[in-house]
Amino acid sequence: MSGEPIIALDGVSFQIGEKEFVSIVGKSGAGKTTLLKLILAEEEPNQGEILFQGQNIYQIKKSHLPRYRQKIGTVFQDYKLFPAKTVYENVAYVMEVMGASDQDVERDVCQVLDLVGLAEKACNFPNELSGGEKQRVSLARAFVHRPDVILADEPTGNLDPYNTFDIIKLLIKIYKLGTTVILATHDKEVINSLGKRVITLDQGRVVRDEKRGRFML
């Protein structure tokens, strides 16, 4: 059964600079997740292009996609941790994929687990962690290999206010370390407290793009 095709994004065009913190806001279904999926080359648009460091990402060969994705760290709303791997192994995975040496993996994973405050849970499995802890592991995994960009898709969607601000504080810390952060959220308080650039989407279109934006729908 297939209904009418739904246009998730239409005529969207903007540019994000290096070391910028940008929030993408909009109601559920506005196209935030689709936009992030397009940036990660998980989906392909019918028309248009996305340039990453000057290269059209849809012209990247399938075999080279992993290398492109290694430049991006992704934080998912539902964490997407590997259930059969420990916290340490989850965070180490990307570095292992990239072929880093065992010593580098150990050093960087321990550092980043310290940063997110989970050093003592390194040997635990995801099902032994709270929601907030899981999201911090997800953030550690996204950041451990020092990517150029962090994509955070509703990272606080399943968290209480205390854990929400914990995660946002960590994202700001990562941003201040020199990483571009693209945060998709519909959390009004988070956006208003950030005081950074906000791109507002509505029904798949950009309706507002403000340098120091606020949550307005």
Partner 1 sequence: MISLKRIIKSGWSALTRNMALSIATVFIMTTVISLVTFLYFLSPVTDILIADVEQKVDVSVYFKEDALEEDIFQIKSEVAKIEEVDNVEYVSKDQAFETFVEKHKNDPVLIESLTEVGYNPFLASLSIKAKEATQYEQIVSFLEAGQFKDFIDKVDYYQRKPVIDKVYSFTAGVNKIGIGFSIIFGIIAVLIAFNTIRIAIHNSNNEISTMRLVGASNWFVRGPFLVQGIVVGFAAALIALLLTLGITLAIDGKIKMIIPNVSTFNIFTGHIFILFLIQVLTGVGLGVVSSLIAIRKYLKI
Q: Which stretch binds partner 1 (CB under 8 A): 45-53, 97-105, 168-176, 190-198?
A: 97-105
Please, what is the minimum distance in Å from the beta carbon of residue 84 to partner 1? 5
Residue 202, beta-bridge partner list: 205
Q: With respect to partner 1, which residue has the nearer C-beta, 72 or 118?
A: 72
Please, what is the minimum distance in Å from the beta carbon of residue 121 to partner 1? 17
Q: Which of 10, 18, 49, 96 binds partner 1 (CB under 8 A)?
A: 96
Which residues ranging from 55 to 74 are in contact with partner 1 (CB under 8 A)? 63, 66-70, 72-74
Q: Which of 97, 123, 177, 217 binds partner 1 (CB under 8 A)?
A: 97
Parallel, antiparallel, or unpaired: how do β-strands 51-52 and 55-56 relate?
antiparallel
Q: Give the Cα separation of 77 and 126 in Å (integer).
A: 15
Please, what is the minimum distance in Å from the beta carbon of residue 59 to partner 1? 18
Q: With respect to partner 1, which residue has the nearer C-beta, 52 or 165?
A: 52
Output the furthest CA–CA distance in the chain (Å, rounded): 53
Please name the amino acid found at residue 216: M
Q: Which of 7, 51, 98, 177 binds partner 1 (CB under 8 A)?
A: 98
In order of 13, 24, 38, 51, 59, the CA distances from 41 in angstroms are: 17, 18, 5, 11, 10
Which residues ranging from 157 to 216 are in contact with partner 1 (CB under 8 A)? none
Q: Give the Cα separation of 24 and 7 in Å (integer).
A: 18
In order of 102, 167, 193, the CA distances from 183 in angstroms are: 31, 11, 14
Please, what is the minimum distance in Å from the beta carbon of residue 154 to partner 1? 15
Query: Radius of gyration over alpha carbons of the chain, in Å?
Result: 17
Site for partner 1, rule CB under 8 A: 40, 42, 63, 66-70, 72-74, 76, 80, 82-85, 89, 93-94, 96-99, 101-102, 141-142
